[in-house]
């Protein structure tokens, strides 16, 4: 009987722990050693976290029935809007970088 443990590693102190991969092991003791050997033997980590996959709660479902593009980062082009606004204000020529899109 084996379990999957998700491994998070921190490259340098102060940086966020990021998902590195996973190890399959019979228990946590094996998993710790395997994580150290897979993700720590080359001094590439200063900290490792192990999380049994069973402990991970998945958040599912991201409905977007009304296409609320304005809530998305890539929802609309700010460049185009900026240009329109500048044209209206008559400052197009003055804007730095304007016209070289």
Residues interacting with other proteins, by CB under 8 A? 23-26, 29-30, 33-34, 36-38, 41
* Shortest distance, position 59 Cβ to other proteins, whole Å: 28
* Shortest distance, position 3 Cβ to other proteins, whole Å: 12
* Shortest distance, position 21 Cβ to other proteins, whole Å: 11
User: At residue 42, what are phi and psi to the nearest 5 degrees?
Assistant: -105, 20
Nearest C-alpha neighbor of 17 from the set 8, 25, 27: 8
Q: Which residues contact 86 (CB under 8 A, 6 or more apart)?
A: 92, 95, 98
Contact between 82 and 99 (Cβ < 8 Å): no
Q: Closest CB to other proteins among 30 and 98?
A: 30
For residue 86, the 8-state DSSP code is: H
Tokens of 15: 């940086």
* Shortest distance, position 30 Cβ to other proteins, whole Å: 6
Q: Closest CB to other proteins among 41 and 79?
A: 41
């Amino acid at each position: 009987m084996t379990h999957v443990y998700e491994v998070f590693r921190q490259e340098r102190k102060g940086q966020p722990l990021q998902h590195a991969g996973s190890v399959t092991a019979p228990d946590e003791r094996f998993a710790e050693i395997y994580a150290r050997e897979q993700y720590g033997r080359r001094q590439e980590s200063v900290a490792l976290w192990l999380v049994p996959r069973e402990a991970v709660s998945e958040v599912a479902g991201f409905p977007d029935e009304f296409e609320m593009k304005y809530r998305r980062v890539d929802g609309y082009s700010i460049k185009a809007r900026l240009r329109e606004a500048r044209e209206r204000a008559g400052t197009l020529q003055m804007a730095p970088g304007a016209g070289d899109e």
